[in-house]
Amino acid sequence: MGEREAMEYNEKVERIRKTEYPMLAGTTYLDHAGTTLYAKSLIERFSASMISNLYGNPHSASTSSQLSTRRIEDIRLRLLSLFNADPETFDVVFVANATAGIKLVADGFRDHGTGFWYGYHRDAHTSLVGVRELAQKHRCFGTDADVESWLEKPEELDIAALFAYPAQSNMTGYRLPLDWCRRIRALSQESPRRIFTLLDAAALVSTSRLDLNDSEVAPDFTVLSLHKIFGFPDLGALIVRKESGTILESRKYFGGGTVDMVLCLREQWHAKKSDTLHDRLEDGTLPIHSIMALDAAMDVHEKLFESLDRIAQHTAFLAKRLYDGLSSLRHGNGRSVCKIYKESSSVYGDPHSQGPIVSFNIRNSEEAWVSNGEFEKLTTVKDIQVRTGGVCNPAGISSYLGLAPWEMRENFSAGQRCGNEYDILGGKPTGVIRVSLGAMSTIRDIDNFLDFIHDFFVDLTAVSDTEVNYPLTLPRELASFYVESLTVYPIKSCAGWKIPVNTPWEIRDVGLAWDREWCLVHAGTGTALSQKRYPRMALIRPSIDLVDGVMRVRVVGSEHEISVPLSANPTYFVEEDGFRSRTTNVCGDTITANEYKSEGLSDYFTQALGVACRLARFPSVGNSALSSRHSKAHLQQHQRSSTRNMPGAFPDGRIAEEVMTRPILLSNESPILTISRSSLNRLNEQIKMSGGKAAQAEVFRANIVVAEDLRSVPGTEQPYVEDSWRYMQIGNQYFQMLGSCRRCQMVCVDQETAIKNQEPFVTLVKTRRFDGKVYFGQHTCHIQGLAESSTSAQYPTIKVGDAVQSFGVDDDLERFRSGQVG
């Protein structure tokens, strides 16, 4: 269809819109797949026919009953001919919707022989995925290439096989190869085992013709939603190749209307209807009036839109305009506004490879994701109807959005559910915005929508290519530091795990991701164990595997390794073990933790430590008072004196207030602990002077070790300068220093060998005692939301090697935040 023809057809649709779809007035309607839109004359024609005829239930010889029967048979034929399907070869079974058609096929296979193998494509709708639960074996094909290589060499199976896929993805609009049905059929004819094909045409046929003329090429089972084509009636159809239909007759259930005779009392026997396949599969009273409406729907649709081919061309033209428009939207700094999810081989404008659906997410000029919840609120104001979320396409969503199974589980245990507001988790969107066009869509809808995105989401003021937009330009008052190492301690009081270099690590409210989320609790008292009493805990070495989504644990001297899922609440996923909640005491706080029930896990840790204990996870689910802890750190006297007389200093109470509301997990006092290499060097010099054994950084169990960059600031180190820091900037993240960390003998446990020494505590007592208490290192917390709308705020990370700048002045927090300091 050329440009002029396309415009003419669009004009025609505009006219149809005015007269036939008055409910669309003033609305930009972009959610055709899945929703019903019916023409005014369809409803009028249908009601006229209902008022002037008497249609009875087609189960008797009465005139009204006969009229219904005759009409229904005519409509079946007419529906088959819409798909060019020969009634000799195919039969049509009326069902409630496409899903019911899929389930009818699945029921037949389930009850057939010893069950079945089920293969389905990644792009499958949820309704197609669910069939796997009835199958003996199943496989999800992740790519077209996987299907291709399986077609080359299908696995040997000793049970019936069903391969299912959507003719068009309801998420991306990608049109999958229909040729697979032919190839599978050809393949089955060579081998003794048949592989049957189930084509989910629900999304495709709403805007495209499906031709079943060549029976060698056609699927065995085709399901569709008639309401997606015509808007009304709410009805689905299953088109069955008669010869393949016998397998559906394995279905054990029989309902009224499907049997000729049933014996119940002394004998149990029934005879299925013998006439047609649909007679044996349509349980109960047919949706007579819906079927009558279907006749009217086919009439009206054809009259209004000419043909499905015309609709295919029209919608392809609109989808291309939308795709081109969205993909060319740029912020002032040149960055794309929309991240569009699309099969790489498909081409918008080409109805063979691509249907009229565009799925995408919006990013701001800093490349942070725009929440779909926010997007939806604005569409409501502007009367734009568009779908957001997981769009019933689970595997498509996870692969296009790059969500690993464990992340989906993590999101689920964090509270994400179909349709709720958890739309960005861990810096990734959990759903999409989906535009789906229909026959009655017009250029006006597309342009309205593009204008809307342009008006609300394009930031023309963004300056060009600033890699990271630092909100603060603070003076570099003190020596410049960098991050020497980052460590998390997944299990409280057990060994730390060094975050690999070049790995940006997420910072959460409660500290570095995966720090102190687990603890070991005494089987008897329920108290969290600590290295102070059980030095061997240092030999328990956890590590975090973000590929498999597990914490792995090894014990020094043992070959045996265990792993625990990272998901906050694996009870959803591990049936036999799971959790029980347990009142636990951590550093004087009474909390409720989730204790792992698994005996295997308990034995592992009990053996490692020689004390009966169990692994527990915090926080437990639910929001009771016992499921949260708060930071206790505060500035110490020795720190205050250094800044007391600084200009601009504000009363300490203000910082304290800010700090007290900081949530923490199982760490002792604060979300993050920072130590300085220079201070450690000074301490070790002093230890060596008195003949002691130098301490490793590990004994201080810090998360962040900062070291001085002596190349940029030549000269001597500045030990303990961090005592006077109030804020620090690491990479593009900001932190507040909460006060010095008080120390005990636990620093004497060698973290390699678990052997206790005297040092460094003895030297610390001599050199770092203030008001009778011993301090080393600084409690720290992340300051959120400095650059509210940037990726660095949405998914804050730091990494080894990041530059550290410190700010020693007790400046007003608000001024610090707004970047006016200095």
Ligand X SMILES: *Cc1c(COP(=O)(O)O)cnc(C)c1O
Residues engaged in binding ligand X (CB under 6 A): 33-34, 97-99, 125, 127, 166, 170, 200, 202-203, 225, 228, 236
Q: Closest separation between CB of residue 393 and ligand X, Å? A: 8
Give the residue with the Cβ less far from ligand X, 99 or 372: 99
Q: Closest separation between CB of residue 162 and ligand X, Å? A: 16
DSSP, collapsed to helix, strand or coil, labels residue 355 as: coil
Q: State yes or no: is 392 an active-site residue.
A: yes
Q: Closest separation between CB of residue 372 and ligand X, Å? A: 20
The residues, any chain, with a CB within 8 Å of residue 688's CB and separated by 6 or more, are 694
Q: Closest separation between CB of residue 119 and ligand X, Å? A: 17
- How far apart CA 264 and CA 268 sit, in angstroms, is 5
The answer to whether the CB of 107 falls within 8 A of the CB of 95 is no
Catalytic residue selected from 140, 181, 338, 392: 392
Give the residue with the Cβ less far from ligand X, 358 or 798: 358
Give the residue with the Cβ less far from ligand X, 166 or 739: 166
Give the residue with the Cβ less far from ligand X, 203 or 358: 203
The answer to whether the CB of 181 falls within 8 A of the CB of 213 is no
Q: Closest separation between CB of residue 237 and ligand X, Å? A: 10
Buried b / exposed e along 178-193 (16+ C-beta atoms within 10 A)? bebbbbbbeebeeeee
How open is the CA angle 710-715-716, to the nearest 5 degrees?
Answer: 90
Helix (H) or strand (E) holding 606, with range, is: helix 599-609
- How far apart CA 262 and CA 268 sit, in angstroms, is 8
Give the residue with the Cβ less far from ligand X, 99 or 361: 99
Q: Closest separation between CB of residue 98 and ligand X, Å? A: 3
Give the residue with the Cβ less far from ligand X, 176 or 672: 176
Q: What's the one-letter identity of residue 608?
A: A
Q: Closest separation between CB of residue 394 and ligand X, Å? A: 12
Q: Closest separation between CB of residue 342 and ligand X, Å? A: 17
- How far apart CA 702 and CA 723 sit, in angstroms, is 15
The answer to whether the CB of 435 falls within 8 A of the CB of 784 is no
Give the residue with the Cβ less far from ligand X, 203 or 539: 203
Cis peptide preceding 619, ω within 30 of 0:
yes
The residues, any chain, with a CB within 8 Å of residue 50's CB and separated by 6 or more, are 289, 292
Helix (H) or strand (E) holding 40, with range, is: helix 40-52
Give the residue with the Cβ less far from ligand X, 204 or 601: 204
Buried b / exposed e along 620-635 (16+ C-beta atoms within 10 A)? bbeeeebbbbebbbbb
Q: Are strands 116-121 and 137-141 parallel, antiparallel or unpaired?
A: parallel
Please count the helices (runs of H) and the strands (runs of E) in the chain. 23, 38
Handedness of CA 450, 454, 458, 463 (dihedral sign): positive
Q: Within the chain, what is the greatest distance between any pair of CA atoms?
A: 112
Q: Closest separation between CB of residue 399 and ligand X, Å? A: 16
- How far apart CA 5 and CA 345 sit, in angstroms, is 27
Q: Closest separation between CB of residue 97 and ligand X, Å? A: 3
DSSP-assigned states of every residue in 88-106: TTEEEEEESSHHHHHHHHH
E strand segments, 469-538: 481-488, 497-498, 505-508, 511-512, 518-522
- Torsion, Cα 552 558 560 562, to 10 degrees, reads -30
Helix (H) or strand (E) holding 595, with range, is: strand 589-596
Cβ atoms within 10 Å of 383's Cβ, excluding its own? 11
Catalytic residue numbers, as ranges: 392
